[in-house]
């Protein structure tokens, strides 16, 4: 008798709701606020991120503004690690380095404090969504410029049809929910 692999549906996946035409017509927005409202769903997400991250022995967790903070900070706290924010340009008060990345129309820039990571630090980068991979790659470049090593990326969701994983082809990536 052949074994059948059944994909487990996460609590978080059942809670994400679709919002049509937000923020503009033609976009189907994946609203994660119900996940944030559910302690059970958040525990499930953080536990999965810990399972992925723990064997990699990271020295710090890097979270990308803003929803990467929501998942990255509890991960860092649970693992007893420093949390490092990657923010939009002009939002950090100390000396920073910055990286630009492409958007559908134009560019955006993220930054990190120059003393946030030490050479040789092992890093997990966290965000809520992997879409095109532009923001994740910019965060990766920031970490590498400071001498850190990327041990992996964790995302709540991946929009597979945007092929963001291609930008992270040589990286270990965990996306809990894959949207085709």
Separation CA 15–CA 75 (nearest Å): 20
Residue whose token pair is 């040589």: 170
3-state class (DSSP) for residue 105: coil
Catalytic residue among 2, 8, 57, 104: 104
Q: Does 99 qualify as catalytic in the annotation?
A: no
Measured distance between the N- and C-terminal CA atoms of the chain, rounded to whole angstroms: 30
Asked if 87 and 23 touch (Cβ cutoff 8 Å), the reply is: no
Catalytic residue among 44, 48, 67, 145: 67
Q: Does 14 qualify as catalytic in the annotation?
A: no
Interior angle at CA 149, CA 64 and CA 47, nearest 5: 55
Separation CA 180–CA 38 (nearest Å): 25
Asked if 121 and 60 touch (Cβ cutoff 8 Å), the reply is: yes
User: Which active-site residues does the annotation give?
Assistant: 67, 104
């Amino acid at each position: 008798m052949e074994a059948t692999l059944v994909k487990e549906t996460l609590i978080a996946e059942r809670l994400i709701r679709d919002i049509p035409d937000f923020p503009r017509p033609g976009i189907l927005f994946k609203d994660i606020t119900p996940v944030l409202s559910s302690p059970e769903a958040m525990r499930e997400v953080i536990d999965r991120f810990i399972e992925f991250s723990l064997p990699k022995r990271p020295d710090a967790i890097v979270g990308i503004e803003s929803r990467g903070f929501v998942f990255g900070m509890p991960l860092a706290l649970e693992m007893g690690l420093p949390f490092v924010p990657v923010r939009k340009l002009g939002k950090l008060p100390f000396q920073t380095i910055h990286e630009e990345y492409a958007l559908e129309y134009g560019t955006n820039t993220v930054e990190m404090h120059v003393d946030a990571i030490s050479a040789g630090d092992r890093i997990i980068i966290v965000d809520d969504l992997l879409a095109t991979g532009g923001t994740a790659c910019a965060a990766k470049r920031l970490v590498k410029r400071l001498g850190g090593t990327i041990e992996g990326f964790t995302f709540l969701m991946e929009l597979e049809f945007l092929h963001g994983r291609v930008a992270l082809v040589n990286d270990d990536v965990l996306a809990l929910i894959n949207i085709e």
